[in-house]
Structure 1
Amino acid sequence: MMPQQGTRAGDGMPPRHAAQVRRQGHEQGDDQTTAGKLGFLEWFHYQDYEHVEHTLAALRELNVTRLRTGISWADYHRTHGADWTRWLVQRLGEATELLPCFLYTPPSRGIQPKTSSPPRNPDEYGEWIALMIDELGDNFDWVELWNEPNNLVEWDWILDDGWQIFARMIDTAAAYAHRKGKRVALGGMSPIDPAWLALMADEGALRHVDSVGIHGFPGVWEADWMGWQNSIDQVQAVLDDHDLSTDIWITETGYSTWRHDEMTQIDALLATLHAPVGRVYWYSVFDLKPGLPSKNGFHNDERDYSFGVLTHDGRPKLLQRLWSQGGQAAVQDLAKLQDYASIHVVDENKHPIVVSGGAGFIGTNLAHRLLTQGERVLVYDSLARPGVERNARWLRKLHGHQVEIQIKDVRDRYALKAAVRNAKRVYQLAGQTAVTTSVVHPLADFEVNSRGTLELLERLRRRQYMPPLVYTSTNKVYGELAGVTPREGDSAYYLDPDDPAAGGVDEHFPLDFHSPYGCSKGAAEQYVLDYARVYKMPNTVFRMSCIYGPHQFGTEDQGWVAHFLISTLLHRPITIYGNGKQVRDVLYIDDLVAALLAAGANPDRVAGEAFNIGGGPTRAISLLEFLDLIADIHGEHPVVSYDEWRPGDQRYYVSDVDKFRQAVGWAPATDVKTGVRELYRWLRTWIPAGNAAAQSNGNGHGNLSSTRQIHPVPQATGKGEAG
């Protein structure tokens, strides 16, 4: 049986008391209760079957079953529109708990020929609702009538004086729905307008309504936002005044990440889930495709294109990744790490060392060393790389609030400005780190690596005191190493004594960018060096080779040393590209951290210079030799297969680190066998705690092998290059 008009199932109490109980019940609820109210809103364009299937797959990954979407009356009357509508409702209904929002007037039936027009005969809308319930009602329990009726874009109220047509249309349609056993939600107000809702109640439009929807986009379009409780109280007051115990739902809300502030999207969702309402529909699953118009027109407002928890081409944002891994608990756990106050209120007496990308492999080790020396450290990281949040938690657990954590992106110039305002030293480790990813997403690669670094330089340049900056670049800027001719030995390539790189590649080798990644990193480092020359900034560049050590979880694209060890520990096959005789010099993380500290502490000796940083000739090893080392440490050889060489793969790269040694007296101290044993021991303790993260976290890349388990995402994070 349907509950009678003005009540909700299980209520049987006066409306004011029901509202009070709802608020108290929410305040006492646990996280699982608040997560259970979550659904998603996704709009589907006419006959976009692929978008529907991708959305359902994403909802399964998120373990969310509720979905709200628009069912267009106008589309239903297009050629083949009825077939599309039936397929859409049936497909969504079989896979989700569907809330269909029936909206949009067929232009041929409107007072004016547009979808926002009131229909000439308002009863036709109710008749169509009845038809939809008769044909498709097995796929839903609720119907939502229209969307944002007080928004001129959705309902042209200029053509409907006093909303008389709308009130009649809704009352008729809601009555049809109730008679056919469906519950009714009134399309959400935007903006929230108590006077408009009171008018609808006075006109009798709420007689058959079981839930009133509200919309709100705090931090995006709500300039004078006073919180969900205030908005809900305004709506509840109208319902109380009319003796209605109608429920209240948030049927559309969200946060646009157009400024790359994905942590704020998380904050907005958590705040919404704690609102005292029965349901929350979050907009949206996917970003709007850039080739499509929004309601505001074609790219008239860029915010319209970034509301998704996934990008338009399916790359996960921070919210999606964490929620799919651990639900609301994982999201809330991360939110506790963020130090919010410092973005807005800066203590002028605090002079931290800022480590951009500080939750990545290199950044974590550097921050830890600085913190153990008594320094205050601000870790600035977008946490874009899966798993690096574990590093951030480790730093917080070990060092408490001596470490300040800002989950922000290097492309967010205002957050960046606040973070470095009082920095006494800056390490720029943030970046997109994979050559392969740069080929797939070259624009995103450029935005993070080049533009993000330039934003940082601009923020530092405008300070009265310009702190020392160390930027970590890559040996990829040398490209194919023209003139270097490796010769093939039994287990490794080698160079003749008269080869120009026989003692290692030094800084006199010409720059030669051979991938989007090489271009973006090369452009960034040249900006760093030129700002040192033009603006007299104490900037230094490290062109790094293969770095390895604890807190590194390598993949086929990044961190091949750790990747080989992880694959061995997880009993997964390793694919070698080429013959396995390619040679790299490897540097243990403790030695790199020592180099970073030396550069930061001696800006007068290193400013304006680029240095090759790696293990050098004494720490060079081929892949075949490394496999033998693994067998010695692990007790058995990993399973290996071979594939074709990949374009741009270098047969031989070894750094000449003499220039930096002469500048500050630095030299590597950890031999390869000792360092690899340390990493092996560390991985054995961390892998059981999170195998998934162990396959995808970590920064440090080398395109040498594969177990084909991850597609990296080009966003700003901590990094450590490996050639």
Structure 2
Amino acid sequence: MIEAAMIWNEPNNKSHWDPEIDPDFVLFAQMTKLAGQAIAAECPGLPRVLGGMSPIDAGFVQNLERKGVFEDVDVVAVHGFPLDWNLWQIDEWPAKVAEIKAVTNLPVWVSEVGVSSFGSEEVQAWGVGKTASLLRGVVPRAHWYSLYDLPQAWGATTRHREAEGSSYYRHFYMGLLREDGSAKPSLQAFADHGEGMGICQWFHYHDHRLDDAVAWLKRLGVRHLRTGLSWADSFRPDALGWFDRQMEALADFDVTVTFCFTPEHRGIAPHHTSAPQVPEEYAEFCAQMIRRYAPARVASMEPEVVVA
């Protein structure tokens, strides 16, 4: 079942939201409020999660609070990759979470955290255990990114691609499993140290890895899974057929489903990072997915610490 609905992904990262179109996040705030209201109307009590921010930025939270966004969301999420992209050290994780807790009364989740094996598979394995120990008891939900390496042929969702140098290529080495499905040392590290952690795994349209991923997640004892349903993909042929297959395959997990990616023909600019021409259309997509895949009513979220 869907345990939470996430509104967008990394909105303060220009690889996911175009700051030239919406420099002060006025359009993003409007869209998020509409989506939050639409989700609540379909499934009262379902936690609505503000798309995980990257970088972690208290000023971004305060900006959205001034715009009334937190009237229509229930959880704030953050993403962090201190061994790969962030300008802070891995031991600062508790302090980075505290920065956000200091400016909001909402629960804070870590909806993506990871370490690439670009430089060393042994460093990645160490990073699993270190991250788990740093976040244990600090946040109620943490999702390791990711189960699989990103296939080289697919390309990473980032603005400048190869011009970013090694920063770009690290995107392809975030998995506990290699592209061919073989295990890295980090898989055993997750099994040994990741109790209570969830996993974030994005599935592409008709992703060939879906069934194997489910088998691995069950083998690892993962309960909490974060994934996405793409608004852009909803315009592909038989999109609902693929969405149904994906969500049916994931039925045994508590799923945080992320709604993101603007269809090119519905954006102010023809790009998946663009603010939509009509934000109500995004809100209706969220509502449609909740009607289809979430129970009509769920109990209100109770405080819970699962990273134990």
Amino acid of the structure 2 residue aligned with 1:186 = L
Report how far residue 164 of structure 1 moved. 0.8
State the secondary structure of the residue aligned to 1:285: coil
What is the count of residue pairs matched by the alignment? Answer: 184
Is 2:8 the partner of 1:146? yes
Report how far residue 293 of structure 1 moved. 1.0
Deviates more, 1:161-170 or 1:195-204: 161-170
Give deviations 1:292-340, integer Å, cap 9, x for gaps. Answer: 211233695221111111100011001213545x5648xxxxxxxxxxx
Match of 2:53 in 1: 189
Whole-Å separation in 2 of the counterparts to 1:230 and 1:144: 24
Contact 2:129 2:189 in 1 (8 A): no
Whole-Å separation in 2 of the counterparts to 1:327 and 1:190: 25
Mapping of 1:199-214 within 5 angstroms? 199-214=63-78
Contact 1:192 1:231 in 2 (8 A): yes
Amino acid of the structure 2 residue aligned with 1:155 = W
State the secondary structure of the residue aligned to 1:177: helix
Report how far residue 219 of structure 1 moved. 1.0
Amino acid of the structure 2 residue aligned with 1:257 = S
Residues 167 and 328 from structure 1, CA distance in 2 versus in 1: closer, same or farther, beyond 3 angstroms?
closer
Give the % identical residues: 29
Contact 1:257 1:306 in 2 (8 A): yes
Mapping of 1:283-294 within 5 angstroms? 283-294=145-156
Whole-Å separation in 2 of the counterparts to 1:285 and 1:298: 23
User: Which of 304, 307, 311 in structure 1 is aligned with 2:174?
Assistant: 307
Give deviations 1:432-489, integer Å, cap 9, x for gaps. Answer: xxxxxxxxxxxxxxxxxxxxxxxxxxxxxxxxxxxxxxxxxxxxxxxxxxxxxxxxxx
Unaligned runs of 5+ in 1: 1-138, 330-723
Is 2:91 the partner of 1:219? no
Report how far residue 169 of structure 1 moved. 0.9
Is 2:271 the partner of 1:271? no
Residues 328 and 168 from structure 1, CA distance in 2 versus in 1: closer, same or farther, beyond 3 angstroms?
closer
Whole-Å separation in 2 of the counterparts to 1:155 and 1:200: 15
User: Which of 254, 261, 272 in structure 1 is aligned with 2:114?
Assistant: 254
Mapping of 1:535-554 within 5 angstroms? none
Whole-Å separation in 1 of the counterparts to 2:88 and 2:62: 22
Contact 2:121 2:185 in 1 (8 A): yes
Match of 1:592 in 2: none
Q: TM-score, with normalisation over the residues of structure 2?
A: 0.56
Whole-Å separation in 1 of the counterparts to 2:63 and 2:87: 25
Contact 1:177 1:183 in 2 (8 A): no
Is 2:94 the partner of 1:229? yes
User: Which of 149, 159, 162 in structure 1 is aligned with 2:24?
Assistant: 162
Whole-Å separation in 2 of the counterparts to 1:224 and 1:321: 26
Amino acid of the structure 1 residue aligned with 2:84 = V
Whole-Å separation in 2 of the counterparts to 1:321 and 1:228: 23
Give deviations 1:243-296, integer Å, cap 9, x for gaps. Answer: x3x11111111111112x223223322233232011111111111112221123
Report how far residue 161 of structure 1 moved. 3.7
CA RMSD of aligned residues (A): 2.0
Match of 2:40 in 1: 178
Amino acid of the structure 2 residue aligned with 1:141 = E
Contact 2:52 2:79 in 1 (8 A): yes
Unaligned runs of 5+ in 2: 196-308
Larger Rg: 1
Whole-Å separation in 2 of the counterparts to 1:202 and 1:282: 31
State the secondary structure of the residue aligned to 1:249: strand
State the secondary structure of the residue aligned to 2:102: helix
Whole-Å separation in 2 of the counterparts to 1:235 and 1:178: 24
Mapping of 1:572-721 within 5 angstroms? none
* More helix by percentage: 1
Give the number of the structure with larger relative contact order, counting CA–CA contacts within 8 Å between residues 6 or more apart: 2
Amino acid of the structure 2 residue aligned with 1:205 = V
Whole-Å separation in 1 of the counterparts to 2:24 and 2:87: 27
State the secondary structure of the residue aligned to 1:209: coil
Contact 2:126 2:186 in 1 (8 A): no
Whole-Å separation in 1 of the counterparts to 2:88 and 2:194: 28
State the secondary structure of the residue aligned to 1:221: coil
Q: TM-score, with normalisation over the residues of structure 1?
A: 0.25
